[in-house]
Amino acid sequence: MTRPRPLQTAGRPAEGPLIELTDVRTHFATERGLVRAVDGVTLTIQRGRAVGLVGESGSGKTVLSRSIMGLLPRRGVVRSGSIRFEGTELIDAPRSTLRSLWGREMAMVFQDPMTSLNPLMRVGEQIAEPLRIHLGQSRAEARDTTIRLLTEVRIPSPAERLRQYPYELSGGMRQRVMIAIALACGPTALLADEPTTALDVTVQAQILALLSEERRERNMTLVLVTHDLGVVARHTDEVAVMYGGKVVERAPTAALFRRTRMPYTEALMRSIPTVDDPPHTRLAAIPGRPPDLVEPPPGCRFAARCAYARERCHAEEPSLVASSDDPDHHYACWYPVGTVEPVALRPADPAAVG
Amino acid sequence: MTVLRRLRRAGGWFAATWLVALVGLAVTAPWLPFVRAADEKVRVGGKLQSRYRLGPGRHALFGVDNSGFDIFARCIHYARNSLLVGVSATVIGLLVGGALGVAAGYFRGWVDRIVSVVIDCILSIPALVLAIVLVSRLDDIRQELPGLGWVTRRWQVVAALSLLAVAPLARIVRAQTLALREREFVLAARSLGATSRRVIATEILPNLVPTMVTVASTGLGLLIAAEGTLAFLGVGLGESWGYLIEANRRRLDKAWWATVFPCLMLFVTVMAFNLLGDRLSRRFDVREVIT
Amino acid sequence: MRYALQRIGQLLVVFVVVTFAVLVAMRLGAGGHRELARRMLGGNVTDQQVDEAVRRYHLDSNYLVQYLYWLKGFVTFDLGYSSANSMSVAKLLAPRFWTTALLGIYAIAVGLLLAVPAAVIQAHRRDSWIDRLGNVASFIGFGVPAIVLGIFLQLAFSLHWHLFPAIGDSIYPWQQFGAHVRNFLLPTLTLAIPQAAIYTRLLRADMVATLQRDFVVLASAKGMPTRRILWRHALRNSLLSIVTSVGTSLGGLLGGAVVVETLFDLDGIGSQMVISVLSRDLFTVQACVAFVVFIVVVVNLVVDLSYSLIDPRVRMARALA
Ligand SMILES: Nc1ncnc2c1ncn2[C@@H]1O[C@H](COP(=O)(O)OP(=O)(O)OP(=O)(O)O)[C@@H](O)[C@H]1O
Ligand SMILES: [Mg+2]
């Protein structure tokens, strides 16, 4: 099958930083107190790269990616720091600025394709909507573009799909539609929040391959949120590992896998399923539970669950620093992997183990 | 947030105060020096103040009507009927509706089917239409069947309004009972061999109380409004706010007070019960709305 | 299709049970069938007329037979004889039907016109002062008795500002449009305000939930204008609750019509029913009640069936069933 030429990729600078995060904090006011879901993230995302955002459930990946988009609830959210997109400050930008970026400059693919499409709107219209509004296409043009997009995301017989409703499509098809929507106006950056967790294993691989391919062809920046380091290894150039609302290790993908520094990352790696595992094996979860985000522990947030933790780890918080031998490799750890021997874990919470 | 909460609390207090004052006045009216008898005509300096001569003021707080009766006095005396009829109908509605709802929800099967059809039928007739027809038919039937001499108009109105209260209460109670009977503590009690009567009395009923009280409170407001409406239409009681409104409304241009004050009494009382219901529903976290 | 038939069956049962109960209630208590006939015809009637009525309405049979003949009459618009007006009930009610139907339709339309924007704005600006104001307004609108509301509107618009007549006249739009509007405006408002309050409450709650759903967030992420998100994406998904609330509040609307027609002196089914009740005009009362129940049943059926028009999933599920 010959693939139609991607839309709108010309005329963009190919290099340089696209998204610059400085000390980004997103806290939620709740009855229990302030939930520090994202608590001081500094990160630069280069143009045209694929960046993985990994971490356990609850580590703040979704909140961080939604903070970048500016798609947070209006009420009960406290934000600070700086988020620059192509040099524009977004953190205190009016909603109109954000809206002019959404769809055109940055787009998002959500986790659950079952709930993310409007159940009462035909698929074709949901894709055509941004084309008509952002690009001012006529009805006929939008229809043609929609068909091209559906072909591009490999949906068979696209012309017929236009008239269908989401409930008539399978999960994988819906996620393809989501991707088509996100790609419609040729965004500079695509944020995909666990785009495959809700899908079957075989479909997962197809969707990820599709995303990677689109990124390369369009020279698009991709932020891929996942808790699966295996996915990261195959589909990203760089990785940021999140824990308890912070980035705890950041490196080019190859370097991260070659030389893991952060014990948390190492523990995550142990939970990657291998091909030999029978399907649907439960992953070896990291013992213990994620830190309380209302009153985080004083030292390293991972210390309570860390096999290498020493006194210092419980008392003093390590900051994200560049490795001495690789300036691109950053980690926040007093005793990186390989520098000390593991010790027996304190029997903190046996119930949470296993 | 706090402003709203304070406002709501103020509303609750206002409602409670109004209702307590109204009940107090209505009950003690015959002995209160500043409330005339309902059928005492107002005279100023020995001169009869009929034909709406007197507006609201010192001699008659709410003015007088065409025959020279004191609107304020009548409002207070007639409050008795509204409250009595409303409360009686609510009590009957709670007992009968509660019993039907619990029976249908707990025993299910044919009991449930019959109760449900009956509820559907009652609810398919607009409440007011049902009440009008019922009261007027009871008028005739009372005269035709022997041994019903003791039934007065008031009891007819109570009977009609009770029927209005039964249907929605039975429906809500049934739904709640259906949910409750599947809850762990009920299942536990049943698996331990408790009799149905015991389970209903000790496990189900106590859990129904908040909902029933809440619904009954708002319902009381609706029933009092219905009582006033029946009287307004000439099908209800003569000694009622609704009747005062009907009797005087055609002279709204000449003597607004004779219509407006009974309207206000009805309005504020109904709103007070609604406010109370609102407070209770927040307190007990009851979501059901009756329409 | 099966679902539709099932629903029609249920509603038919309700209609039959209710109209039968009304018939029995109306005819209960008379000494014998001749006595009953006399009462139904009212006034001074000859023995011959009584005999004819007994024959015609089968008053000497049991209630079930009488009901079947009544039902036959109902579907052929033979609704009996109005004793108070000395004319056929069908003829008496036909013009009155239009008054009530127009009032009802206007009230629902105006109610929606007030409620939908209010609910959408309230849900969009949740907990803002405008939302609170809306909540207070719908709380009052929900609770205020129709008589009180009608009197207050008369006081303000007819007596204070002299804008509309307080005492109406059933002028139809095809007779004199301007006069029709002037006569129907206050009655319509009196009926529409409580309706609007009910619609607003339900729709606001539904919209608040809808606005938090993923697909609405996605619509934002697509950069859709707020207006489009609210009206195209969210409201469309909350339509079900509007339709439902129109259906469930219809009884209140028709009850309100009785009050409003009486209060504003409009000749409708509601005011006629009150007059007939007071004059013991049994045929007319029975016809009015049956008619009102019929409307409730039909509207509920329409509401139910319209769900499938609104939601393609329901359409699909029912096609498969
Ligand atoms: N609106 C909110 N109000 C309060 N707390 C929130 C809110 N949204 C997220 N959180 C909290 O923020 C923390 C981070 O959540 P987030 O959804 O970003 O995790 P995640 O890394 O995406 O996890 P997952 O893999 O499960 O998607 C969680 O503890 C969550 O409870
Ligand atoms: Mg997430």
Task: Tell me the mean pLDDT in the region A138-152.
Answer: 94
Residue A252 per-residue DSSP state: E
Rounded Cα distance between C53 and C80, Å, is: 10
Q: Are B244 and B229 in contact (CB under 8 A)?
A: no
Ligand 1 binding pocket mutation candidate from A41, A61, A74 (most atoms within 8 A of CB):
A61
Contact flag for B and A (3+ C-beta pairs < 8 Å): no
Rounded Cα distance between B230 and B154, Å, is: 11
A65: closest chain C residue by CA? C221
Q: Where residue A73 falls among pLDDT bands split at 50, 70, 90?
A: confident
Q: Are A54 and A229 in contact (CB under 8 A)?
A: yes
C128: closest chain A residue by CA? A75
User: C56, C89, C122 — which closes off a domain?
Assistant: C89
Angle at B71 between CA B68 and CA B73, to 5 degrees: 105
Burial class (CB in 10 A: 0-12, 13-18, 19+), C254: buried
Tell me whether strands A189-193 and A221-226 are parallel, antiparallel or unpaired: parallel
Question: Which pLDDT score, from 0 to 100, does residue C318 have?
Answer: 52
Ligand 1 binding pocket mutation candidate from A27, A31, A35 (most atoms within 8 A of CB):
A35
Q: At what angle do helices C177-211 and C89-124 cross, to 10 degrees?
A: 40
Interchain contact, C154 vs B252, CB within 8 Å: yes
Average model confidence (pLDDT) across chain B: 88
User: Within the 101-160 window of chain C, which residues sit less than 8 Å (CB to CB) from chain A?
Assistant: 126-127
Q: Which residues contact A73 (CB under 8 A, 6 or more apart)?
A: none
Same domain, C132 and C270: yes
Of B137, B229, B234, the CB nearest to C25: B137
Helix (H, G, I), strand (E, B) or coil at A28: strand
> What residue ranges in chain A does DSSP mark as E strands?
17-30, 33-46, 50-54, 77-85, 88-89, 106-109, 189-193, 221-226, 238-243, 246-252, 321-322, 330-331
Q: Where residue C320 falls among pLDDT bands split at 50, 70, 90?
A: low
Tell me whether strands A33-46 and A50-54 are parallel, antiparallel or unpaired: unpaired
Burial class (CB in 10 A: 0-12, 13-18, 19+), C154: buried
Residue nearest to atom 18 of ligand 1 (CA): A60
Q: Where residue A160 falls among pLDDT bands split at 50, 70, 90?
A: very high
Which of A97, A112, A115, A120 is best to mutate for the C interface (most C CBs within 10 A)?
A120
Same domain, C85 and C98: no
Give the CA distances from residue B177 to residues B119, B203, C168, in Å, rounded to whole numbers and listed in that order. Answer: 16, 10, 48
Q: Which residues contact C205 (CB under 8 A, 6 or more apart)?
A: C241
Burial class (CB in 10 A: 0-12, 13-18, 19+), C119: buried
Q: For the whole model, what pTM was predicted?
A: 0.89
Q: For the sheet containing A33-46, what is the strand order?
A: A33-46, A17-30, A77-85, A88-89
Of C252, C259, C277, the CB nearest to B291: C252
For residue C30, the surrounding DSSP H or E stretch is none
Interface residue B228 vs chain C (CB under 8 A):
yes
Helix (H, G, I), strand (E, B) or coil at A15: coil
Tokens of B95: 């007992």
Of C14, C159, C258, the CB nearest to B252: C159
Helix (H, G, I), strand (E, B) or coil at A272: coil
Least distant ligand from the CA of A58: 1
Residue ranges per domain, chain A?
A: 246-274+284-352
Question: Which pLDDT score, from 0 to 100, does residue A11 have?
Answer: 56
Q: What is the DSSP string of C99-124?
A: HHHHHHHHHHHHHHHHHHHHHHHHHH
Q: Where residue A6 falls among pLDDT bands split at 50, 70, 90?
A: very low
Pick the closest to residue C101 from C245, C241, C252, C253 (CA basis): C253
Strand partners, B41: B69
pLDDT tens track for C95-150: 999 999 999 999 999 999 999 999 999 999 998 899 999 999 999 999 999 999 99
Burial class (CB in 10 A: 0-12, 13-18, 19+), C231: middle
Which of C13-22, C51-60, C302-311 comes out lowest in average pLDDT? C302-311
Give the CA distances from residue A197 to residues A114, A200, A201, C272, in Å, rounded to whole numbers and listed in that order. Answer: 12, 8, 9, 65
Same domain, C235 and C313: yes
Same domain, C125 and C10: no
Interchain contact, C236 vs A121, CB within 8 Å: yes
User: C89, C123, C145 — which closes off a domain?
Assistant: C89
Same domain, C304 and C204: yes
Angle at B58 between CA B56 and CA B63, to 5 degrees: 25
Residue nearest to atom 20 of ligand 1 (CA): A58
Tokens of C59: 């008053």
Question: Which pLDDT score, from 0 to 100, does residue A4 have?
Answer: 45
Same domain, C100 and C55: no
Residue nearest to atom 8 of ligand 1 (CA): A63
**Spacing, Cα A111 to ligand 1 middle (Å):** 13
Nearest ligand 1 atom to alpha carbon A35: 5
According to the CATH classification, is domain B2-290 in 2.40.30.10?
no
Q: Are C154 and B252 in contact (CB under 8 A)?
A: yes
B249 contact residues in C (CB cutoff 8 A): 151, 263
* First vs last C-alpha separation in chain B: 28
Amino acid letter for position B281: S
C240: closest chain A residue by CA? A120
Nearest ligand 1 atom to alpha carbon A73: 1
pLDDT one digit per residue (tens) for chain B, 291 residues: 567 778 778 888 999 999 999 999 999 988 988 888 888 888 888 888 888 888 888 888 898 888 888 889 999 999 999 999 999 999 999 999 999 999 999 998 999 999 999 998 999 999 999 999 999 988 888 877 777 777 788 899 999 999 999 999 999 999 999 988 888 888 888 888 888 888 888 888 988 999 899 999 989 999 999 999 999 999 999 899 999 999 999 888 888 898 999 999 999 999 999 999 988 888 887 765 443
CA atoms within 13 A on the CB side of A38: 28
Residues on chain A bordering chain C, Cβ-to-Cβ distance under 8 angstroms: 69, 71, 75, 99-104, 107-108, 110, 112, 115-121, 129-130, 133-134, 165, 167-168, 178, 181, 185
**Spacing, Cα A245 to ligand 1 middle (Å):** 9
**How many domains, in total, are found in chain C?**
2
Residue in the block written with tokens 């044919």? B110
Same domain, C175 and C197: yes
Rounded Cα distance between B265 and B245, Å, is: 11
Q: What is the DSSP string of C218-285?
A: HHHHTT--HHHIIIIIIHHHHHHHHHHHHHHTHHHHHHHHHHHHHHTT--SHHHHHHHHHHTT-HHHH
* First vs last C-alpha separation in chain C: 8
**Spacing, Cα A64 to ligand 1 middle (Å):** 9
Interface residue C218 vs chain A (CB under 8 A):
yes
Q: Which residues contact C182 (CB under 8 A, 6 or more apart)?
A: C164, C165
Question: Which pLDDT score, from 0 to 100, does residue A273 have?
Answer: 61
Average model confidence (pLDDT) across chain A: 87
Angle at A179 between CA A175 and CA A180, to 5 degrees: 115
pLDDT tens track for A296-319: 999 999 999 988 888 999 999 999
For residue C88, the surrounding DSSP H or E stretch is strand C87-88
Question: Which pLDDT score, from 0 to 100, does residue A230 have?
Answer: 86
Angle at B182 between CA B180 and CA B185, to 5 degrees: 75
Sign of CA dihedral C20, C22, C25, C26: negative
pLDDT tens track for A201-213: 888 898 999 999 9
Looking at B108-204, list the stretches that DSSP marks H as alpha helix, in order from N- to C-terminal side. Answer: 109-124, 127-144, 153-180, 184-191, 196-199
Interchain contact, A130 vs C224, CB within 8 Å: yes
Q: At what angle do helices C312-320 and C282-310 cross, to 10 degrees?
A: 100
Question: Which pLDDT score, from 0 to 100, does residue B287 have?
Answer: 64
Same domain, C80 and C101: no
Task: Tell me the mean pLDDT in the region A262-282.
Answer: 70
User: C35, C63, C89 — which closes off a domain?
Assistant: C89
Of A104, A112, A165, the CB nearest to C223: A104
Q: What is the CATH number of the domain that holds C298?
A: 1.10.3720.10
**Spacing, Cα A63 to ligand 1 middle (Å):** 6
C10: closest chain B residue by CA? B117
Q: Are B103 and B170 in contact (CB under 8 A)?
A: no
Q: What is the DSSP string of B31-62?
A: G-TTS--TTPBPEETTEE--TT---SSSSSTT
Give the CA distances from residue B52 to residues B34, B253, C167, C262, in Å, rounded to whole numbers and listed in that order. Answer: 20, 11, 21, 24
Of C221, C223, C311, the CB nearest to A120: C311
Residue ranges per domain, chain B?
A: 2-290
Range of the domain at C255: 93-320
Give the CA distances from residue A199 to residues A182, A208, B52, in Å, rounded to whole numbers and listed in that order. Answer: 18, 11, 80
Same domain, C121 and C175: yes
**Spacing, Cα A293 to ligand 1 middle (Å):** 10
Q: Where residue C33 falls among pLDDT bands split at 50, 70, 90?
A: confident
B229 contact residues in C (CB cutoff 8 A): 145-147, 259
C211: closest chain A residue by CA? A73
Residues with CB under 6 A from ligand 1: A 28, 30, 35, 37, 55, 57-63, 73, 227, 293
Q: Report ipTM for this prediction.
A: 0.91
C235 contact residues in A (CB cutoff 8 A): none
Interchain contact, A118 vs C237, CB within 8 Å: yes
| Cα-only R_g, chain C | 24
